[in-house]
Amino acid sequence: MTTILGLSGSLRRASFNTGLLRAARDSAPDGVRIIIGSITDVPLYNGDAEAASGTPKAVQRLNAQLAGADGLLLVSPEYNNGIPGVFKNAIDWMSRGDGLANFKGKPVAVTGASPGSFGTAHAQSHWLPVLRTLQTRPFWEGRLMVSKAGDLFDEDGNLTDDKTRDRLARFVADFAATL
């Protein structure tokens, strides 16, 4: 069984990106399992807090999930044409100390949904220097940007558009085939 850790970079209850991640999990091909991790309880990084208390339990849980995964799926919103701070913060925490080893050579795909017309194109590009620094193996074979998300998701953040669901299923299958 191929295992992918999926992370949404949004904390919103009815997040388009969390909904996109759930839809990715539900559309994964046979033999592929997407585990949904959560960044919700990851505190803001503070080196003094790390020195005093060590790695927070939420980060330890994410690192354990990443260590056990064959690949990583980042489902990233776009805030002000870039990476959401809360998402980058979680990855920064995860990469501290021994956590960096979990990223080295790990295949990573990035996608995202946005109410705007560009569908997180800028945020996806902004992840590239971070992924390079973490020595991951970015998924270059496909790209999925979901634009006009307000028309594709219901009020609870569930993907309702069949065309987008089909595109997502192909994206996940193509990524999984590289693992």
Residue 1 has what pLDDT?
A: 97
Give the CA dihedral 175, 80, 90, 52, nearest 10 degrees: 160
Q: Residue 158, class by beta-carbon neighbours within 10 Å (0-12 exposed, 13-18 middle, 19+ buried)?
A: middle
Beta strands in the chain (DSSP E): 2-8, 32-36, 71-75, 107-113, 137-138, 144-146
Q: Which pLDDT tens digit goes with each residue over 10-53?
A: 999 999 999 999 999 999 999 999 999 999 999 999 999 999 99
Q: Residue 175, class by beta-carbon neighbours within 10 Å (0-12 exposed, 13-18 middle, 19+ buried)?
A: buried
Residue 84 has what pLDDT?
A: 97
Check residue 45 and report its DSSP letter. P
2-177, what's its fold? Answer: Rossmann fold (3.40.50)
- For residues 46 and 78, give the distance between their C-alpha atoms in angstroms, rounded to a whole number: 24
In terms of pTM, does the model score above 0.95? yes
Q: Which pLDDT tens digit goes with each residue over 89-111?
A: 999 999 999 999 999 999 999 99
Q: What residue ranges do the domains of the chain occupy?
A: 2-177
Q: Which residues contact 81 (CB under 8 A, 6 or more apart)?
A: 122, 123, 126
Residue 123 has what pLDDT?
A: 96
- The residue type of 125 is S
Q: Which residues contact 133 (CB under 8 A, 6 or more apart)?
A: none
Phi and psi angles of residue 109, each rounded to the nearest 5 degrees, phi first: -115, 145
What percent of the chain has pLDDT above 70?
100
Query: Is pLDDT of 142 > 90?
Result: no
